Structure 1
Amino acid sequence: MNRSEYFNYIEEKLQVLAYRIEKRGRLNILDLNIYSESFFADLLNLLFNFKLVNLNVLKQNVEGIDLVDINGKIIAQVSSTCTKQKIEGSLKKKIFLKYQGFTFKFVSIAKDAGKLREGSFTNPHKALFSPADDIIDIGIILNVVLNMRIEKQREVYEFIKKELGKEVDVVKVDTNLATIINILASENLSSNIESPEINSFEIDKKIEFNDLLDIKETIDDYKIYYQKLDEKYAEFDREGANKSLSVFQIIKKQYILLQNGETNPCDLFFGIIDNVIKIILESKNYNEIPYEELEMCVYILVVDAFIRCKIFKNPEGYSYVAAG
């Protein structure tokens, strides 16, 4: 199930991050703590619809708090130390006088805070703070993710992948694309493959025409592999395998199958990707590769099919080929 894939990936990345923060902290290597302030601001915004920003961007080294959501009246501290003394030390800071009427969130990024949520705390400035509701740790975050609608869960998954995913290995991309094409191309059909430069302006028009602006960044991320995939298709087709058309047909079939039941264009796009991944995973000749790499290859294939007019409607006069 896609939900399981998303959750497992998010859970693994957050747990590894927590582990590294704790271990590096013992060595007094605190770079991850600094980066984590902005990372967890964005993550909490996704999970809870906050508008948190890193307060250090506005004013350096503010004691007691790291993040602020002015409109939502929320202030937060992001910490790898998770003790009663740490929280009470924060609550005693005079900065809370400036933010009266704000809810204080304490975010533990390395350790479980379950016992602290059951405790009581000295709160001299009367900050709005309920330990049971306002102490957040990785466990709380994962529970929220687990119970999300799948569309929102995917959004969190994409964010985590961009922030904590591995760097792209171009050599692996080349090899894996060949593997995926071999799996998808079950028919020996002819197709002429061109290899001109793509016209980004025209592609942007098609994105807007199909109401896919929310995932324009995703399409932009993967359209850069157009030439590499083009070369791979041409290589197979020169050998007489002619696998390109069969790959396009499989992708287009998923588009047609999903088109009738899916009204949101972005969900339709991601649904095509999910279906193609499922086909590959269920293939007898699939030699398992890391899920991240598999997904990346399928993104490349589907974005390429989008560019080449195989899926989604084309605006009048659309031509993805750049003028020579």
Structure 2
Amino acid sequence: MNVRWVALKYIKPGAVLAQRVADGRGRTLLARGIVLTDSLITRLKRVGIRAVCIENASTEDVVVTEMVEEETKIEILSMTYETLAALSSTTSFSYKVKPTFLRSQFGPLLSEIIHQLRQHNGAGEQLGSVYLSDGELFHHSVNVTFYALTLGLQQQMSETDLIDLGIGTLLHDVGKMRIPQHILRKPGRLSHAEYRTVQLHAQFGYDILKDIRDISTKSSLVALQHHERLDGSGYPWGLKAPEIHPFAQLTAVADVYEALTANRVYRQAYLPHEAYDILLADKGTKLSSAVIDAFAQTISIYPIGMSVRLSNGDGAVVIKPSADNRQVPIVRAIENERGEPIRPYELNLATASDIHIVTCES
């Protein structure tokens, strides 16, 4: 597939979609092959789409292998959306989501996701590909789950543990459904009182999940402890390393990375390598060294097809992870700083010390 993920603000009319465009719940908005017009681009911006995948002759040999199949992503997004909505109330549940049967609902789908990840040897080269202007809670939850399961596979967890981990990560932020939206979506800095209110979501989530009979204690502890830190600086209880469940320690790494690389109402997303550097800065003090080592060995932070701008001004596309360092990609430069086509050339950024990525344009 000839692909290039490009932010809508850089898209010009006449670009052809190389992949379908989906809305927040995974439903198709525009099909593959559609030619984008000014009005379509405006409509996509209005519904919060941040980037689209377009055809590009300079990358026609680049093969994107999704770690999780598109249909499976749609199904898990939809199920997570419905479940979080249902669990936001303690008094009523959707007829589609019975509180005592969540494991039986999620289990088969999580098993399929685990199977698909195993087929790719657990290497997370194409994860977290939801491009919205401000990631919705269920999108964040699904992306965290993909990262967490990849890390769990690398650590050779059993199938049962992987499913328990998956349920815990899909529902780890369910407590935020009880936090006022004006606080969660506040564009400016939170007051001390507002921040304390947000912190309550960990306990709220645990209180919701612990009473669901077919969800394990391990899964519930993910909701309670995913903001705890090894040095005791986290919340809600200020636990230290031995007191924090391994599932929560693993989720913390996936949660921090996914949150940093997503756009928020109060800030733009960090570049993937900047977010990774933040993980490394907290390695062994706040975040688990073993989990971060697993992250480094399995997850490529620059997805194939991502558009980037290099420090020399050229626009490029990620074509594969570098064998020298999975967190620094090999790119193909295809345009100059004015957006004009150039003779393509490839560059291994792991060994090109004088050139680096300055921004992502997707």
Give the TM-score range, shorter chain. under 0.3
Name whichever structure is richer in helix by fraction: 1
Q: What is the TM-score of this pair, normalised by structure 2?
A: 0.19
Name whichever structure is richer in strand by fraction: 2
Q: What is the TM-score of this pair, normalised by structure 1?
A: 0.20
Task: Specify the structure having the higher radius of gyration (Cα).
Answer: 1
